[in-house]
Amino acid sequence: MGPRVRTLRSLLLLLQALAGPAAQNSDFYLAGDYLLGGLFTLHANMKGPAHLDVLQVPKCEEFDLKVLGYNLMQAMRFAVEEINNQSSLLPGVLLGYEMVDICYLSNNVQPVLYFLAQDDYFLPILEDYSHYVPRVVAVIGPDNSEATMTVANFLSLFLLPQISYSAISDQLRNKLRYPATLRTVPSASHHIEAMVQLMLHFGWNWIVVLVSNDDYGRDNSQRLGDRLARRNICIAFQEALPMPEPDRTLTPAQQARLGDILLKLRQSTARVVVVFSPELVLHAFFEEVLRWNLTGTVWIASESWAIDPVLHNLTELRRTGTFLGITIQRVPMLGFSEFRVRRSQDGPPPPSGTSPRATCNQQCDACLNTTESFSAILTSSGERVVYSVYSAVYAVAHALHSLLHCTQTSCVKEVVYPWRLLEKIWKVNFTLLGNRIFFDQQGDMPMRLDIVEWQWDVRRNPFRSIASYDPAQGQLRDIRNISWHTHNNTVPTSMCSKDCELGQRKKAVGIHPCCFECIDCSPGTFRNQTSDEFVCQPCPSTMWSRRKDTSCFQRRLAFLEWQEAPTIFVALLAALGFSSTLAILVIFWQHLPTPMVRSAGGPMSFLMLVPLLLAFAMVPVYVGPPTVFTCLFRQAFFTLCFTVCISCIAVRSFQIVCIFKMASRLPRAYGFWVRYHGPYVFVVVMTAIKAAIVVGNMLATTTSPTVRSDPDDPNVMIASCHPNYRNGLLFNTSMDLLLSVVGFSFAYLGKELPTNYNEARFITLSMTFSFTSSVSLCTFMSVHDGVLVTIMDVLVTVLNFLAISLGYFGPKCYMILFYPERNTPAYFSSMIQGYTMRRD
């Protein structure tokens, strides 16, 4: 005796203990060649499994009536009757049924044992059940997942086909565990996906989840939580609703608990509430919601209460906001509305105990009358879950039709073993009222889901479809307008934080990714649609952005421009320098033979004047954006000109002061000096050295212009020649300085010479000026950046040349022009004589 057999024996004992004939109602039983078992919830009581304490089948009639359950049961009766009326399906075969009220969860085991037993109530203990024929060939139901799994655990042992019409739990997809269980509804994941799609469509990302404190609530809310996390929708909070007592009253503790939940709900910014719960829990809850005057909420109903007529009859609910529900698609079933409330012609049911084959919980005296009172709403809401029951019955019928080798007119009425019927059911594929009926790999039927909106206007469909969801596509379709009961019918928002604008980034607040602050992007960074919401991207180096910008702009290039005042000033100075130098040149040219010009250096003064002239003419290279060419000029040309001038001055001072001493003391050196044009050689050598320095400097760095950001104004990029220019400048200046010192020393030595030979003052002046200006320029460059440096640079250059031009040549021209009597060899001779006499 295996464990399986032992299990069955104990079940058998239970069956014997439980079974007892009860009242028979023709609604629950129809004799036929083959019986279908039907499990429905006509009564329900959420409060606990108290019945498990005693070995006794609970009396469902003592519980609350569930209108929708009776409606579904009627659908099964309708389907069977229709099949029996038809001649094409199962011709000559009479389909019967045996239905039991399972009172939601309380009464599952007894009916399933009853179905498994044979006519004599006994479930024999066999080694092999492959040739066992139980009372029913298939079971339709039950409605909820928990009960379905309980029943499925029994039926799977016998491979007795079971088709549930509204159990959505994903656990039922496990075909190793539940090989005989099929469904005519899509599984929970599709229901939840439809909900998530709905939230995504309306941009809700901050929701509240309320669940019943049972497997249904826990499983589905967990599944929803998993899915939401992947879609960036956050759960503000989740609460379990307290289960009410059988008579729908709440204990004070439960009342307080509900109060806490509603207070939380009212204080939350989340306006979308998903409720996963059997509808029985919700009567007390929604009455409390009404008492709390909650408004503006969007309630999303799970399939368990999405089309519940009793809750809908709480018409005051319209005040609390919008109700949306997920449910099975609507399929019109002609004639069902009349059938639902049709009274049997058989008159009153026979008195209890007379029938030999009845079981308990097969009665519901109030069902029909209550259903009648809801007839209007049930009719106008149309056939939804009802169709699932209807198609389940048809699936069995079609399988049976195939198993019995039926032709157009007759069937072979052979013994039907459940496992053989199960094989056929898996293979059914037919069209019923416009829908293809077949089961997928997991035994589910991929029916479309509808999102319904609750309406309370009479004459209108209380559950109007506003969108549909096709499990195959996984997307909402046919989305219609919804009346939101808000101002101007705007879609309610349910977000923890409003989306950030472009140009702002999110800063997380707390643990939820949906809650954040918006922070403006700082200057130099930006954010637009293409980038991560939590970071501002930095701009490329040549670009910049303002605070809260969505893109970067090119930085303005700063360089010296013609229209600026400093440029004009420098240009005027350069023009002055150029014209005065030109004038000096002309004057010197005209008075070339005079002693004044010869004392100024004679032809050598032209060696100074021409570079001066060129330098003044080249000043415009400082204006405009720097190029390689202008940088070359700025860094090389001017300094070379300057060196030429300074070396000329130095060599001239040397000649005046030392030439006589050299002639007398070093006659051979003097000979060389004169023969090889010593002064010119000196100038050329100096210039060559300077040129070597400049070239070396350029090779060490580069002359190409560079662009740097201005530390004071990030909007601006400074275009300048190489930043290491400063070092080059210092290097150049040191050489010029040396020459200046030499020139100055000679001039100082000759300070007692006649005034018309003595330029010590002028040389000192211009050398000191040039030296201090170069040093101050370097200092300025080291502390400052930008266009101002260029201005200073050009100013210093121009002033240096002006100093030479006007400081050195100016006084001489003045003498030439205004004291021509002093510009005679006689005057010069007298001066020299006077000087010689004074020295003696």
Ligand X SMILES: *[C@@H]1O[C@H](CO)[C@@H](O)[C@H](O)[C@H]1NC(C)=O
Indicate the residue among 488 and 664 with the shorter CB distance to ligand X: 488
Nearer to ligand X, 473 or 481 (CB): 481
Q: What is the smallest separation between the CB atom of 445 and ligand X, expressed in angstroms? A: 10
Cβ atoms within 10 Å of 251's Cβ, excluding its own: 11
C-alpha distances in angstroms, 173 versus 6, 233, 367, 426, 705? 28, 27, 33, 14, 73
Q: Counting contacts by CB under 6 A, is residue 480 touching ligand X?
A: yes
Nearer to ligand X, 339 or 827 (CB): 339
Judge residue 626's burial from the number of C-beta atoms within 10 Å of its C-beta, 0-12 exposed, 13-18 middle, 19 or more buried.
buried
Instruction: Compute the least distance from the CB of residue 92 to ligand X, in Å.
Output: 16
The size of the interface with ligand X (CB under 6 A), counted in residues, is 26
Interface positions, 92-131, toward ligand X (CB under 6 A): none
| Binding to ligand X in span 435-464, by CB under 6 A | 438
- Shortest Cβ distance from residue 715 to ligand X (Å)? 17
Nearer to ligand X, 365 or 499 (CB): 365
Binding mask 310-339 toward ligand X (x if CB under 6 A, else -) reads: ---x---------------------x---x
- Burial of 710-744, coded b for 16+ CB within 10 Å and e otherwise, reads beeeeebbbbbbbeebbebbbebbebbbebbebbb
Nearer to ligand X, 396 or 789 (CB): 396
Cβ nearer to ligand X, comparing 292 with 771: 292
Q: Which stretch binds ligand X (CB under 6 A): 168-176, 369-377, 687-695, 720-728?
A: 369-377
Q: Give the DSSP H or E segment for 77.
A: helix 67-85
> Segment contacting ligand X (CB under 6 A): 78-86, 213-221, 702-710, 831-839?
78-86
Q: If we measure between CA atoms, which residue out of 399, 389, 395 comes closest to residue 333?
A: 389
Encoding tokens for residue 676?
């090889």
Counting DSSP H helices and E strands in the chain, the numbers are 26, 27
Helix (H, G, I), strand (E, B) or coil at 212: strand
Stretch that binds ligand X, among 4-12, 33-41, 363-371, 829-837 (CB under 6 A): 363-371
User: Would you count residue 267 as binding ligand X (CB under 6 A)?
Assistant: no
Site for ligand X in 501-560 (CB under 6 A): 528-530, 550-551
Q: At what angle do helices 787-802 and 760-783 cross, to 10 degrees?
A: 180
* Smallest separation, CB 467 to ligand X (Å): 11
User: Would you say 150 and 130 are in contact if contact means Cβ atoms under 8 Å apart?
Assistant: no
**Using rule CB under 6 A, residue 256 touches ligand X:** no
By CB under 6 A, residue 488 contacts ligand X? yes
369 binds ligand X (CB under 6 A): yes
Amino acid letter, 680: Y
Handedness of CA 782, 784, 790, 793 (dihedral sign): negative
Q: How far lies 619's CA from each of 421, 631, 691, 791, in Å?
A: 106, 12, 20, 11
Residue of 87, 352, 410, 429 that binds ligand X (CB under 6 A): 429
- If binding is defined by CB under 6 A, does position 88 make contact with ligand X? no
The least CB distance from residue 294 to ligand X, in Å, is 9
User: How does DSSP classify residue 551?
Assistant: S
Distance between the two ends of the chain, CA-based, in angstroms? 153
In the shown chain, the binding pattern of residues 275 to 304 toward ligand X, with x for contact by CB under 6 A and - for none, equals: -----------------xx-----------
Give the whole-angstrom CA distance, residue 248 versus residue 104: 16
Give min distance, CB of 381 to ligand X, in A.
Answer: 13
CA gap 184, 164 in Å, rounded: 6
Residue from 78, 97, 286, 633 in contact with ligand X (CB under 6 A): 78
Distance CA 47, CA 812 (A): 122
Q: What is the DSSP string of 650-691?
A: HHHHHHHHHHHHHHHH-HHHHHHHHHTTHHHHHHHHHHHHHH
- By CB under 6 A, is residue 232 in contact with ligand X? no
User: Which among 196-204, 230-238, 385-393, 480-488 is the span making contact with ligand X, rule CB under 6 A?
Assistant: 480-488
> Min. distance of Cβ 44 from ligand X in angstroms?
16
Token representation of residue 81: 């009757």
Q: How far is the CB of 540 from ligand X (least distance, A)?
A: 8
Q: Which stretch binds ligand X (CB under 6 A): 74-82, 181-189, 566-574, 776-784?
A: 74-82
Residue numbers of the site for ligand X (CB under 6 A)? 78, 81-82, 85, 292-293, 313, 335, 339, 365-366, 369, 373-374, 429, 438, 480-481, 487-488, 490, 528-530, 550-551
